[in-house]
Structure 1
Amino acid sequence: MNSYLIYALLGMLLVLNVRADCDDTKAPDDSDFTHFFKNLGCKVKQGAEDVAEAAKPYATKINEGAKDIGSKLAQKYDDIKHHLSDDSSDKPQVTPVVYDAPTEKVPLAPIGGPQPPLPSVASNPAA
């Protein structure tokens, strides 16, 4: 409920501000209520214009700083890009070393099903 009242007052303020002449004299056909909101709207509008005017130097500095940072960043990117592409063309291509030494052979597990058990040494009569 309170938010509806606030929105209604702000809407009325905007409507009156559009029609307001921003002079301190009260028109004969305006009520005190209308004059109050016209005066308030003019003060808010003037305050916003003052803040915008005061913020212009800061906005200009921020804009120039952002442009400077952006151009430095683009220049650094171009330098690194050219440096990386130039390095790859100047250096000879390195071939990988092939390892030709013999490796240890490890027997693999049998692929088929279970294998018959190996004969034990105790059952061997020749031993």
Structure 2
Amino acid sequence: MKSFVVCSLIGLMLLVAVAEVRAECDEEKAPDESDFKHFFKNLGCKVNQGAKDVAEAAKPYADKIGEGAKEFGSSVAHKYDEIKHKLTDEGPTTPKAPIAYDAPTEKVPLAPIGSSPPPAL
């Protein structure tokens, strides 16, 4: 779902940018414009047009991915609800028996915390 929103925002920004740049791309080289500036301006127009073509070509795939993500999310939510209700409605399957520890426990001395010198060999 997030990818669909991101793709939509990118597409919208590209459309706005194309509208602004299209006016610049249609213009011929101005007499006071250098060849360097004109080259990059023309290159920018071509890259922009290519990005628009890619966005348009990817739109059906993005729509399909978005629909699949929605279906997957709803199926996971539905399955979660089923399992949640199944677990809460049935109750525990094993009877709870009281736990009693009647056996005596053995006391084990703990190791000293401080470091002790190693035994001599």
TM-score by length of 2: 0.58
Larger-Rg structure: 1
Any unmatched runs of 5+ in structure 1?
Answer: 1-16, 110-127
- Equivalent residue of 2:25, what SS? coil
Percent identity of the aligned residues? 60
Q: Which residue of 2 aligns with 1:88?
A: 91
2:38 aligned with 1:35, yes or no? Answer: yes
| 1:1-127 map, 5 Å | 21-23=24-26, 25-88=28-91, 94-96=95-97
Deviations 1:46-65 (A, max 9, x none): 11111111111111110110
> Residue 35 of structure 1 aligns to a residue in which SS?
helix
CA contact (8 A) 1:24 1:39 kept: no
In the aligned structure 2, how far is the partner of 1:104 from the partner of 1:35?
92
- In the aligned structure 2, how far is the partner of 1:33 from the partner of 1:80? 66
Whole-Å Cα distance in 1 between the matches of residues 35 and 99 of structure 2? 96
The CA distance in 2 between the partners of 1:37 and 1:43, in whole Å, is 10
Rounded Cα–Cα distance in structure 1 between residues aligned with 2:55 and 2:83: 40
TM-score after normalising by structure 1: 0.55
Aligned partners of 1:76, 1:25: CA distance in 2, in Å? 61
- Higher relative contact order, chain-length normalized (CA < 8 Å, sep 6+): 2
What's the C-alpha RMSD, in Å, of the aligned pairs? 3.4
Aligned residues: 87
